[in-house]
């Protein structure tokens, strides 16, 4: 009898040991990004304190089977400069991941937006590339409402992304006339990254807004990183327009790096509606958590253009620009990345 009980206990213990472990990870994370900026709109100049895409997030994952992980993220915008915020206003989703790839639903960046974010050396700072590629009425750096996303597993360093929204508005729909689609193909072997993306958003008046983007990032060596970007947009305010940019970053040592990028938007339907922006920066890093930086940006507008230097979407404060004026900005900033993870 005792021998039988011993064998039963041993069998039960072995079964528990061989059962799949449902590992759970949970954590908080965020970024505090503040800058002191001298902003000039071509007529007047003022000193400003700006919170630039500062965020607070909750992230969790659980390995429910050997080939199935559930993912959760809720990310919110916080305005450290003015004491406000928006719950779940940034990348927030529920997803499943496995050998089949990644499936997500929620509110998060489109594949086309990621082309700009992965090639922009001044993201959320003055001189952000969005000052040019989103200027002149173009609006392509978006997060789809009600988004459904699929990403393939990497095959020979290539991934495909398909992002669809049956209704890129709030509330329910009965006709799906405001649907949207964004897609991309990416090659990334850590040294060279190439992306090509297309996005189309339908509207109730039966006109469609669309855009193509191509981007490249190349790590020439331990010191140099080179970037390039091209965009074509159709049917946005102002008409069809091309934009492109190049950038370079040089790592002086483990602490210091310098960077520069030049972006240009061509004429749209109106003559003399082009603009060119130059951004220059110096970064001082203290590990991955803390970065201090100095940046300067200058935009030269044609007579019928009013592109900015600090209104790209990620930078918090900006001035209105009149057509033909040439704005500039000088900025000193601090970026603090934080996280705390818990597991079981």
> What percentage of the chain has pLDDT greater than the value 70?
92
Counting every residue written for the chain, the total comes to 344
Structure tokens at 37: 């900026």
1 has a pLDDT exceeding 70: no
This model's pTM is above 0.75: yes
- pLDDT averaged over every residue in the chain: 91
Q: What is the pLDDT of residue 344?
A: 66
Would strands 180-188 and 68-79 be described as parallel, antiparallel, or unpaired? unpaired
Query: CB of 227 within 8 A of CB of 116?
Result: no
Q: What is the pLDDT of residue 22?
A: 64
Q: How far apart are CA 205 and CA 199, in angstroms?
A: 18
What residues contact 265, with CB distance under 8 A and at least 6 apart? 132, 133, 135, 136, 241, 242, 243, 274, 275, 276, 305, 307
In terms of average pLDDT, the best of 203-207, 211-215, 267-271 is 211-215
Q: How far apart are CA 103 and CA 152, in angstroms?
A: 9
CA distances to 123, 272, 323 from 327, rounded to whole Å, are 18, 17, 11
pLDDT tens for each residue of 246-293: 999 999 999 999 999 999 999 998 899 999 999 999 999 999 999 999
CA atoms within 13 A on the CB side of 144: 29
204 has a pLDDT exceeding 80: no
């Amino acid at each position: 009898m005792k021998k039988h009980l011993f064998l039963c206990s041993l069998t039960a213990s072995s079964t528990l040991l061989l059962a799949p472990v449902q590992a759970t990870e949970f954590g908080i994370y965020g970024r505090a990004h503040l800058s002191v900026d001298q902003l000039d709109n071509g007529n007047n100049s003022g000193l400003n304190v700006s919170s630039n895409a500062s965020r607070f997030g909750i992230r969790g994952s659980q390995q429910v089977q050997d080939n199935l992980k559930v993912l959760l993220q809720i990310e919110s915008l916080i305005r450290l400069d003015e004491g406000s915020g928006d719950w779940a206003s940034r990348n927030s989703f529920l997803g499943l991941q496995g050998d089949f790839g990644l499936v997500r639903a929620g509110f998060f960046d489109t594949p086309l937006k990621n082309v700009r974010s992965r090639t922009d050396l001044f993201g959320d700072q003055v001189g952000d590339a969005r000052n040019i590629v989103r200027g002149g009425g173009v609006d392509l750096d978006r997060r789809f409402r009600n988004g459904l996303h699929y990403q393939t597993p990497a095959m020979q360093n290539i991934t495909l992304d398909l992002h669809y929204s049956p209704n890129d508005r709030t509330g329910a729909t009965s006709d799906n006339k405001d649907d949207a689609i964004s897609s991309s193909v990416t090659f990334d072997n850590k040294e060279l990254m190439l992306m090509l993306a297309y996005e189309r958003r339908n509207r109730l008046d039966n006109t469609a807004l669309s855009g193509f983007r191509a981007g490249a990032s190349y790590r020439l060596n331990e010191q140099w990183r080179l970037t390039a970007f091209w965009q074509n947009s159709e049917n946005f305010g102002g008409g069809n327009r091309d934009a492109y940019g190049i950038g370079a970053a040089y790592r002086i040592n483990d602490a210091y790096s310098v960077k520069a990028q030049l972006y240009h938007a061509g004429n749209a339907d109106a003559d003399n509606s082009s603009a060119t922006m130059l951004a220059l920066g110096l970064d001082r890093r203290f590990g991955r958590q803390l970065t201090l930086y100095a940046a300067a940006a200058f935009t030269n507008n044609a007579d019928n253009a009013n592109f900015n230097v600090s209104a790209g979407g990620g930078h918090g404060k900006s001035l209105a620009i009149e057509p033909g004026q040439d704005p500039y900005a000088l900025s000193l900033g601090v970026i603090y990345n934080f996280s705390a993870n818990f597991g079981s």
